[in-house]
Structure 1
Amino acid sequence: MGRSRGGLTSKIHALVDAEGRPVTLRLTAGQIADCTQGEALIEGLGEGDILLADKGYDSDAIRARAKQRKAWANIPPKANRKGTFAFSAWLYRQRNLVERFFNRIKHFRGIATRYDKDPADYLAAVKLVAARIW
């Protein structure tokens, strides 16, 4: 997909539900910032949901979009952020559901080793594994 210091890489962006099952999946090149995909992932949120994301998704646009969808964004602020936001470290621990999802899809050899060179084929394989997780 894209060239980075480590070579050709790609990133999988996922929105998972409260049980760690994938709702939305996106694929980008390794050098693309995470926050560029945040707004597209938020489309899967409903009213009253809580968005748990890591620092890579900390942007004003993502927070505003979550508020517009009547969801609460619990994202730790970046070190260079000027303003402050409400953040619950206790609630942030539940973000491990996303990490568990990524661990589950890495059990499939083709996903973990990235055999598919075409991004569309790789995303299709990830979605197939996601369907199996469901």
Structure 2
Amino acid sequence: MSLRFNRNTDGETQALGRSRGGFGCKIIGLCDAAGRLVDFVLAPGQAHELAASVLLLQRLPKPPTWALADMACDAKVFRSAARAMGSIPVVPSRKNTKQPEPCPDYLYRHRNLIERCWSRLKEWRAIATRYDKTAISYAAGIAIATTLDWFKSSG
């Protein structure tokens, strides 16, 4: 398991930003087939998930067979990055896409594993509300919660 994050302390890397929900941040993560968080990136609230998703794919030590993602990653960049690694992208196309790509339902239904992973991690009050001021301390809290989740799932 590798949980990496930026250690810069200037104002730009605190992963805080404005979004429709207010002032906050996003946790963009990657989980394994058992639904456990493997790697994550903190991003400001207004940032798109696509760049961080491609970064997480590239940081994997071994390419996965399938790269499941939600509609936010329906872009040529994500699909080509997954194919370059040797993975098959499983991303549903948006409704207004001119050339929709196939997304097998029998594979996409396993995407609920990451949603259940977030549900377990957000049981931790500090993760759900982000009381920490700095990105380093917030990422450390996520890493601790993830480690305890790994221990709980292995027992």
Q: Smaller-chain TM-score range?
A: over 0.9
Question: Residue type of the partner of 2:65?
Answer: D
Q: TM-score, normalised by structure 1?
A: 0.93
Any conservation in 2 of the 1:52–1:73 contact (CA below 8 Å)? Answer: yes
Q: TM-score, normalised by structure 2?
A: 0.81
Any conservation in 2 of the 1:58–1:78 contact (CA below 8 Å)? Answer: yes
Correspondent of 2:146 among 124, 130, 134: 130
Match of 1:116 in 2: 132
Match of 1:40 in 2: 55
Any conservation in 2 of the 1:13–1:26 contact (CA below 8 Å)? Answer: yes
Query: What is the distance in 1 between the residues matched to 2:99 and 2:53?
Result: 20
Name which of structure 1's ranges 94-103 and 77-86 shifts more when overlaid on structure 2: 77-86
The number of aligned residues is 134
Q: Helix, strand or coil: the match of 2:147?
A: helix
Query: What is the distance in 2 between the residues matched to 1:86 and 1:48?
Result: 19
Match of 2:87 in 1: 71
Q: Helix, strand or coil: the match of 1:116?
A: coil
Query: Where does structure 1 lack aligned partners over 5 or more consecutive residues?
Result: none
> Residues 23 and 55 from structure 1, CA distance in 2 versus in 1: closer, same or farther, beyond 3 angstroms?
same
Runs of 4+ in 1 over 3 A off after TM superposition: 45-48
Q: What's the C-alpha RMSD, in Å, of the aligned pairs?
A: 1.4
Query: Where does structure 2 lack aligned partners over 5 or more consecutive residues?
Result: 1-15, 151-155
- TM superposition shift of 1:90: 2.1
- TM superposition shift of 1:58: 1.2
Any conservation in 1 of the 2:74–2:93 contact (CA below 8 Å)? Answer: yes
Query: What is the distance in 2 between the residues matched to 1:35 and 1:45?
Result: 20
Q: Helix, strand or coil: the match of 1:73?
A: strand
